[in-house]
Structure 1
Amino acid sequence: MGLLGASGYGGGELLRLLKAHPGVELVGFSSRKHQGKPLAAAWPQLWDERPFASQEEVLERSEVVFLALPNGLAMEIAPRALAMGKRVIDLSGDFRLPPGVYEAWYGIPHQSPTLYREAIYGLPELHREEIREARLVANPGCYVTAATLALAPLAAAGALKGAFVVGLSGVSGAGREGEGTFYAEVNENLKPYRVGGTHRHIPEMERNLGRLLAQGRPVRTHGEAGEVRLAFTPHLVPMTRGILVTAEAEVEGDWRQEVLDELYGDFYAREPFVRVLREALPETKGTYGSNRVDLKPLYEARTGRVLVFAALDNLVKGMAGQAVQNLNLMMGFPEETALPKEGLWP
């Protein structure tokens, strides 16, 4: 396996997980910023004497290539990798949306529009069987994973009409060179960002839930999609990692607590990395360092609202861990291989 873009937070976490994978030989990793330098120049916590290689060296040596690159670069590299017979897991947003939708929300002309029809959406809880056969997987991000899994059972039941989602993210979600993430700016500070329906993950959330609404389960990446309108307001929280989502769902039908518990329990009964909580509420520390998502649906009797809470580690299940989960499916490894289910505490 090889990794392009190994010096970002997601790339570093992916290296950590891959180095502990019993079925993986990590043949190379690249970073334009650190090429030729030892791995410890970017990641002192990782023990590997090899230097960062060039992209060409990594592509040549690898059977499967992870692309942990900024948006806009994977669409240029993926076609070449596929032509070389490689399988590709892309951690950027380049193949998650139809090219026209991508261009409208990301502001980047799509260089490989025909490849979108081949890309499989890499959320195993919804697309497991498609992922097994995929050559190109579009790995979802952290907010989208949390919001989609929080609302998926309601959408698949045909009950979801829309939702208002509030997301809170640790600073690592902004990336290693994210704007406004200096210690003096984030410490003891909480702020919303990309508000008013401008966050680029909104169409991805709506498309995921729309597919479930139209298809039920199992769901196909390029199958029919219904319409779900979703409002999303993200916030930056002064902690290193973690995502907490609170979704207020607009639903049809009677969704008292016992009905919600049965729906969510049945929907995720066979999912190795989704835990539906009965009494406790999800919290970020509970999933810290794990590939797990904790969910809690709640019927608010006083107002008749349905709330769903979701917590995950943005660098594991929200990025690198999910990529390894997709790798396991593609290569026929047991799905849980090298992926922690237990969080770190405190």
Structure 2
Amino acid sequence: MVRVGILGASGYGGGELIRLLKRHPEVRLVGFSSRRHTDKALFEVWPQLVDERMFKPQEEVVAEAEVVILALPNGIAMELVPGLLEAGKWVIDLSGDYRLPPEVYEAWYGLPHKSPALYREAVYGLPELFRGEIPGARLLANPGCYVTAATLALAPLAAGGLLEEASLVGMSGVSGAGREAEETFFAEVNENLKPYRPGGTHRHIPEMELNLARLRAQGRWPRTHGAQKGVRLSFIPHLVPMTRGILVSAFVRLNEDLSELRLEALYREFYQDEPFVFFTRALPQTKGTFASNRVWISLRKDERTGLVQVFSALDNLGKGMASQAVQNLNLMLGFPEGLALDREGVWP
């Protein structure tokens, strides 16, 4: 069994990671840390988990683990990763620190990158596109939640050379903002719906564009540090009064006029061997992916305007974060890819 530790286990993604790893037959969860909850029992922080083990200091977790999963705020992983790799650990980072080239990261996140040279060693962890690079990787950058939904929604079009620009509208449950964010307070979100970070300012935009640019230049199976061919996206996220779930609606004018039937055939062929991508005529809904690792995609063509409409739903704490990290861990270490993961959702 592989020894796994989690740093930052008191956030929503960390809690979901613990739930999944506790049932993983090839994992021994040796420890979990939190800056605020050291020496508290796990069930005190996550009452849904029946576990009296205590949160440990970060140093103890690292010392005992072979694989370290970082569920920490942006800017912290880049300080820890050099030492973790030097100590021979495998690292899965759930923050944005190694998803983007350092100069792009600094421009969009407003933080100086502390270990820019390691970006070239990082593998981008979206298995449905980068599966060939993940086995054996020592540093893996787990994608963002909006990014996973948007990238998989548009990947067949980008890989087929049909996409240059798109407009996207995203809707996210409040857990996507984090456990300590003021905008998640009940009085702020109940009976309310609001956009945020409009005008092309959301920090996930360059990550979406980078993925689609890789696909446009390299085709079906791109490499993290391979060629790119530019894609432009307009993206507006919204906060929805629900706990978890993401729905992305994309609007695309293609380079080639394809019928809806041909587009559906393109998507079915692209994802035919992907166990966690559910492409169907039925329109996706977030309840259909709740607590699962599944992405639900559908499309329509607006014959009047010629625009193609693509819809993608996932659980932001599942495929958008924690369960995708477990999927990546399975691939990194040679376990069956779907081990400890759910294809079916739970009706909340």
Report the TM-score range of the alignment, normalised by the length of the smaller protein: over 0.9
Match of residue 26 from structure 2? 23
Q: 2:299 aligns with which of 293, 297, 300?
A: 297
Residues 1-346 of structure 1 mapped to structure 2, 5 A cutoff: 1-278=4-281, 280-346=282-348
Deviations 1:190-235 (A, max 9, x none): 0000010000000000000000000002110000011000000000
Amino acid in structure 1 at the alignment position of 2:255: E
How far, CA to CA, are the matches of 1:150 and 1:266 in structure 2? 14
C-alpha separation in 2, matches of 1:179 and 1:195: 19
- Segments of 5+ residues of structure 2 without an aligned counterpart are none
Larger mean Cα displacement after TM superposition, 183-192 or 297-306: 297-306
Query: In structure 2, the residue corresponding to 1:322 is in which secondary structure?
Result: helix
1:242·1:311 contact (CA, 8 Å) conserved in 2?
Answer: yes
1:159 is paired with a residue of what secondary structure? coil
Q: What displacement does 1:36 show?
A: 1.1
Counterpart-to-counterpart distance in 2, 1:312 and 1:254: 29
The whole-number CA distance in structure 2 between the counterparts of 1:77 and 1:292 is: 31
2:253–2:306: 8 Å Cα contact kept in structure 1? no
Q: Is the Cα contact below 8 Å between 2:195 and 2:238 reproduced in 1?
A: yes
Distance, in Å, in 2 between the alignment partners of 1:66 and 1:53 is 15
Contact 2:71 2:94 in 1 (8 A): yes
Q: Please give the secondary structure, in 2, of the residue aligned with 1:27.
A: strand
State whether residues 2 and 62 of structure 1, in contact with CA within 8 Å, keep that contact through their aligned partners in structure 2: yes
Cα distance between partner residues in 1 of 2:275 and 2:64: 32
Query: Is residue 255–residue 306 contact of structure 1 (8 Å, CA) maintained in 2?
Result: no
For structure 1, the residue ranges without an aligned partner over 5 or more in a row are: none
- 1:133 deviates by 2.1
Please report how far the alpha carbon of residue 325 of structure 1 lies from its aligned counterpart in structure 2 after TM superposition: 0.2
Deviations 1:95-151 (A, max 9, x none): 000000000000010000000000000000011110112100000011000000000
Tell me, in whole angstroms, the C-alpha distance in 1 between the residues paired with 2:345 and 2:42.
Answer: 26
TM-score by length of 2: 0.98
Aligned-residue offset at 1:250: 2.6
Contact residue 155 and residue 213 of structure 1 kept, 8 A:
yes
Percent identity of the aligned residues?
A: 69
**Residue 249 of structure 1: how far off its partner (Å):** 1.3
CA distance in 2, matches of 1:15, 1:152: 30
Following superposition, the deviation at residue 181 of structure 1 comes to 1.3
Task: Tell me which stretches of 4 or more aligned residues in structure 1 moved more than 2 Å.
Answer: none
